[in-house]
Amino acid sequence: MRYPVVVHNIEYAGFGAIAPDLPHCHCHADTLEAALQKMAETIFQRLEELRQAGQPMPEAGSVDTLRENPAFVGGVWAIIDVEST
């Protein structure tokens, strides 16, 4: 599955990343690269939690649509591709 992720540079605090399509799926790291790696792991864990709870996997939204949300202004977008089991 491919999920859009928005990353913000938090002044003096590193990088915060959010997967808007997955509730409670966010992370923080010191570098952009580390934030993206950590987000891939976080997405995989969240999908596994949903699977174990018998809940459906959320569909990935469109980056163009998600960009319209004012909460994500100024963020850098990436696509995280994770395999779910």
pLDDT at 1: 86
Place of tokens 């002044």: 11
4 found inside a domain? no
50 found inside a domain? yes
53 found inside a domain? yes
What average pLDDT score do residues 58-75 get?
92
47 found inside a domain? yes
6 found inside a domain? no
23 found inside a domain? no
Are residues 57 and 50 in contact, defined by beta-carbon separation less than 8 angstroms? yes
pLDDT digit string, tens, across residues 25-63: 999 999 999 999 999 999 999 999 999 999 998 999 999
pLDDT at 16: 96
Looking at the 3D structure of the chain, how many domains does it have?
A: 1
b (16+ CB within 10 A) / e for 6-44 = bbbeeeeeebbbbbbbbeebbbebeeeeebbebbbebbb
Q: What are phi and psi of 51, to 5 degrees?
A: -60, -45
Residue 36 sits in which domain range?
29-85
Q: Is the pLDDT of residue 83 over 80?
A: no
20 found inside a domain? no
Are residues 77 and 60 in contact, defined by beta-carbon separation less than 8 angstroms? no
Q: Is the pLDDT of residue 11 over 80?
A: yes
19 found inside a domain? no
